[in-house]
Amino acid sequence: GRFPIVDEQMKIHGILTSKDVAGYDRSVLIEKVMTKNPITVIGKTSVASAAQMMVWEGIEVLPVVDERQKLIGMISRQDVLKALQMIQKQPQVGEKLDDIVTGGFKESDNDKNKPDPVYQYEVTPQMTNHLGTISYGVFTTILTEAANRFLRSHKKGELVIESMTIYFLKPVQMESVIEIKPNILEAGRKFGKMDIEVFHQGALVGKAMMMVQLMERS
């Protein structure tokens, strides 16, 4: 747990976590082990600003204070995430999740020696599950869209997925920018086999193997 430390006037002086007290004798004073002068927000701070602070500072909770610096509440990363999901999960009229997901694609600048396109995608709050990591359904949609774009760039037409095996190697957090690298392993006239690798900050976080049926564009 995480506990705010306040004085008689309810002014916050620190934050205490279970990690802070681990290994200390029970007689040690809280003020010796607490995190002093914690970052605080006011009630009128936007949810987006609170989320940015938490990501930048690597903190899990923010004390909420009034204009006299009195503690009036605490907000956790989970609270912020839920609020952002509620805000962003209200699509525009007629807008589907697939449309929202595929709208976030960018083609990254390629090395001239590697002409195949590489795609970038930023994971927004609406793409995440209750843990704040990219959801399986969104990940599948992203991989499918990347495969489709890649095949179109090779003038192979559209695809229908016959089978797909996805490997999650590391969780992908909200606000991560991932890089998607499709590769054609085999391509006949009507069927193909693809391998797609997903990277975050240079580390492989997921991959997929696809068997696809190639559909000629009319």
- E strand or H helix at 38, and its extent? none
Q: Where are the domains of the chain?
A: 2-87, 92-215
> In tens digits, what is the pLDDT along the chain, a chain of 218 residues?
788 899 999 999 999 888 888 888 888 898 889 888 888 988 888 777 787 777 777 788 889 999 888 999 988 888 877 776 666 555 444 445 556 666 777 887 655 555 678 899 888 776 777 677 887 878 888 888 888 888 888 776 677 888 889 998 988 887 889 999 999 888 787 888 999 999 999 999 999 999 888 776 55
Query: What would be the CATH architecture of the domain defined by 92-215?
Result: Roll (3.10)
Q: Is the pTM of this model over 0.85?
A: no
Find tokens 């990940």 and name the residue: 139
Select the CATH number that applies to the domain covering 2-87 from these four: 3.80.10.10, 3.30.70.20, 3.60.15.10, 3.10.580.10: 3.10.580.10
The whole-number pLDDT of residue 124 equals: 79
Residue 50 class from Cβ within 10 Å (0-12 exposed, 13-18 middle, 19+ buried)? buried
Alpha helices per DSSP H over 1-159? 18-21, 30-33, 47-57, 77-88, 97-102, 136-153
Task: Please report the pLDDT score of residue 200 as a whole number.
Answer: 93
Q: Which residues contact 157 (CB under 8 A, 6 or more apart)?
A: 151, 214, 215, 216, 217
Distance CA 1, CA 22 (A): 12
d(C-alpha 185, C-alpha 168), whole Å? 20
The reported pLDDT for the residue numbered 182 is 92
